[in-house]
């Protein structure tokens, strides 16, 4: 099963909706692991070390750091970019589908975008 890390600015309504629909989904928030305010590079490093796909709305800067990691040959558990304007219900459904049918290996060193 895929493990997720929700970035600091990731919509908590999505996180709560995921947990409501699937209480055993493996998701933690940056705030829960005391990385609130940490630079994007540090968050990506923590996610890689802990095998967690990072969920973020931060398309402008985080994508840049993720691409730098990949160019440098550094492992990345994966990033899923979600526009803030995306419908919350659809994002919850997409993430539940990803969690149900995907493996962690499928997201390694990838940047994907929702909605599907």
Q: Is the pLDDT of residue 61 over 90?
A: no
Q: Is the pLDDT of residue 50 over 90?
A: yes
Q: What is the mean pLDDT of residues 90-110?
A: 95
Domain 3-113 in CATH 3.40.50? The answer is: yes
More confident residue, 61 or 85: 85
Q: Is the pLDDT of residue 59 over 90?
A: no
- How do residues 76-94 score in pLDDT, each as one tens digit? 999 999 999 999 999 999 9
Question: Is the preceding omega at residue 10 within 30 degrees of 0, hence cis?
Answer: no
Neighbouring C-alpha atoms within 13 Å toward the C-beta of 25: 26
Across the chain, mean pLDDT equals: 94
Q: Is the pLDDT of residue 3 over 90?
A: yes
CA–CA separation, 6 vs 32, rounded Å? Answer: 10
| Domain chopping of the chain, boundaries | 3-113
CA–CA separation, 94 vs 34, rounded Å? Answer: 27
In this prediction, residue 95 has a pLDDT band, given cuts at 50, 70 and 90, of very high
Q: What is the mean pLDDT of residues 30-38?
A: 92
């Amino acid at each position: 099963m895929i493990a997720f890390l929700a970035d600091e600015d990731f919509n908590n309504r999505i996180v709560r909706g995921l947990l409501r629909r699937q209480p055993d989904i493996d998701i933690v928030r940056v705030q829960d692991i005391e990385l609130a305010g940490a630079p994007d590079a540090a968050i990506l490093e923590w996610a890689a070390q802990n095998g967690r796909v990072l969920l973020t709305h931060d398309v402008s800067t985080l994508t840049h750091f993720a691409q730098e990691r990949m160019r440098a040959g550094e492992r990345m558990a994966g990033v899923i970019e979600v526009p803030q304007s995306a419908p919350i219900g659809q994002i919850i459904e997409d993430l539940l589908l990803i969690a149900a049918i995907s493996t962690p290996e499928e997201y390694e060193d990838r940047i994907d975008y929702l909605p599907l």
